[in-house]
Structure 1
Amino acid sequence: MGGKLVRAPVDFSQPAKILDSGTADGTWLLDLATSLPPLSAGTHEFVGTDLNLAPFPQSTPQNVTFTVQNIKKPWPESQHDQFDLVHQRLTILGAGPNPSPSISHLYSIVKPGGWVQISEGTMDFPPDIVNEDRTPAYSDMLRLM
Structure 2
Amino acid sequence: MAVRLQRESFDLGAEVARLTAGRSDAGAVVTFSGLCRDRADSGAPLISLTLEHYPGMVEEELGRIEQEARTRWPIADLLLIHRYGRILPGEPIVLVVTLSPHRAAAFEAAQFLMDYLKTSAPFWKREETEDGPAWVASKATDDEAATRWSR
TM-score normalised by L of structure 2: 0.28
Question: Normalized per residue, which structure has more strand?
Answer: 2
Q: Which has the higher contact order (CA 8 A, sep 6+)?
A: 2
Structure with greater helix share of residues: 2
Give the number of the structure whose alpha-carbon radius of gyration is greater. Answer: 1
